[in-house]
Structure formats: structure tokens, C-alpha cells
Amino acid sequence: MSTTDMIRFENVKKIYTGLDSKSADIVALHDVNLSIQKGEFVFVLGHSGAGKSTFLKLILREEKATEGRVFVNGRDLSRIRPREIPYLRRGLGVVFQDFRLIPSMTAYENVAFAMRVTNIPERQIKRRVPYVLSLVGLSGKAHSLPQELSGGEQQRIALARALVHSPPIIIADEPTGNIDPELSIEIMELLQAINSLGTTIVVVTHEHELAARFKKRTIMIDHGEVVDDGFAPHGREAAYL
């Protein structure tokens, strides 16, 4: 394993076992081999049901691989102890499609909360939160509640929260799924700017146009298998260029 691998899958298979004799087992990922290096910006592209969220859940250790091995930040996730999982996750900034903000908390409080749960001193929080809010261009909205903000602004708070522990990797699951196309471009440009500062970025999406537009490495998953992995405009995406 190369020392610059941030994420590595070796012969990974994920089977969801049917809960009773009537429900069949589902092969969600099959023989996945790939590595993502430090500083890369990668799209993971595939239709609904292709296995994209399963791929992310394996990285976050929300699910365990049925076969093969998953490495994140040099750790073999099949060997990690349960009490180490919170530390693993602290090194992974995650942005969810549905934002997952706390509705009763302001933008500032939502971001600060992510720091408070890890017992970071209050004076450090007071310095860090305004900084990450400024990175996402939301300094002026620090005291707004999520319901007072647009979808794009809420997504940027979610991104600020993901950045708060300076994680080496940011993972975004369908980050543009609930915002309109112009704001999608904005959030992707923001992710590119964060990437240019050295953070590894993995964006999961079913939007071919979005992946094609940014001309980044694109790992295409279909029925649980990696069917393409490269930079060139390939197959269907090429039609949108």
C-alpha cells in the first residue's frame, strides 16, 4: 500500500444478508479494487441502487466488508477496534444530501456543536467557527436558523461543519441532490477550492452532467461493480460536453 493512499479497497465485496428465509441476499458491491490518493478530487458516479452509499458506509465503517479489505488513512477497517471508530470518523468530513442540520440551532451553533461534542475548549471554538463560516462564504448568516436559509446556504453550513476538524478527507453523498443547478456549481467550486488547499475530496453523485463538467477522475459503479475509472470524457457523459 502506497503511503499516499487515503482510501484503498482490495477485493471488496458487500452482501446484505436477507433478514428471513423469504428475502434474498443482496450483493451491493462486488470485487471492488481502487485507491484514492492524498489530494485527489474524485467523483463516484452511478445510478440509484448501484452501490454508491454502500461504498461510503464502508469508508465510514457504518458497514463492514463481507470480503476483502478497506483501508482509510492507513487503517485496516476490518481490524479497527470499536472504540477507535470515533477517531476514524473525525478524520472524515461528511456532507449529506439532506444536510442533517439541527433546526433549533443557528448556523454558528450547528458548526460549534460539532466541536463541543469532542470537548474542544470554548476559546478554540470561538476562533474556529467564524473561520470555517468565512471559508464557505457565510459569515453574514452566522446567527440565522436553518429554516431562514436557502438550500444552498444550508448545504454550505453542512460543509463548514464537515471542515471544522480539518479532516484530510471530505466525503459528500449527493451534495447537490437537494439544491438547484446553479447552486450545485457553486458548492462544487467550493469543494474544488478546499481541494486546492490539499484536502482529498470524494463526491458521490448520480448526475452525469455534474461529473462531466468538472473533468475530474470519475469512478463509475454499476450493479455493485466498478465499470470505469478515469479522467477522459467517456461513454454517456461525453454527450453532455
Please give the residue ranges that form the binding site for Mg ion (CB under 5 A). 52-53
What count of other Cβ atoms lies within 10 Å of the Cβ of residue 82?
A: 7
**Residue listed under C-alpha cell 459503479:** 221
Of the pair 129, 172, the CB lying nearest Mg ion is at 172
> CB under 5 to 8 A by kind: which of Mg ion, ligand ADP, none does 28 bind?
ligand ADP
| Residue 214 within binding range of ligand ADP, rule CB under 6 A | no
Q: Helix, strand, or coil here: 149?
A: coil
Rounded to an integer, what is the distance from CA 234 to the centroid of its chain?
23
Count of residues interacting with ligand ADP (CB under 6 A): 11
Window contacting ligand ADP (CB under 6 A); options: 42-50, 104-112, 179-187, 189-197? 42-50
Measured from the CB atom, the residue of 46 and 93 that comes closer to ligand ADP is: 46
- Residues in 53-82 at the binding interface with ligand ADP, rule: CB under 6 A: 53-54
- Cβ contact 130:111 at 8 Å: no
Tell me: does residue 218 bind ligand ADP (CB under 6 A).
no
Task: Give the residue from 37, 39, 5, 7 showing the smallest Cα distance to 197.
Answer: 39
Contact region for ligand ADP (CB under 6 A) — 41-49, 94-102, 109-117, 186-194? 41-49
Nearest by Cα to 222 from 29, 65, 6: 29
Q: Does 26 bind ligand ADP (CB under 6 A)?
A: yes
Task: Tell me which long-range contacts 134-141 makes (C-beta under 8 A, separation of at least 24).
Answer: 135/160, 135/163, 135/194, 136/160, 136/163, 136/190, 137/190, 138/107, 141/107
Q: Does 175 bind ligand ADP (CB under 6 A)?
A: no
Query: Which among 52-60, 99-107, 139-147, 151-159 is the span making contact with ligand ADP, rule CB under 6 A?
Result: 52-60
**Which amino acid appears at position 51 of this protein?**
G
Q: Does 51 participate in binding ligand ADP (rule CB under 6 A)?
A: yes
Positions touching ligand ADP (CB under 6 A) are 16, 26, 28, 46, 48-54
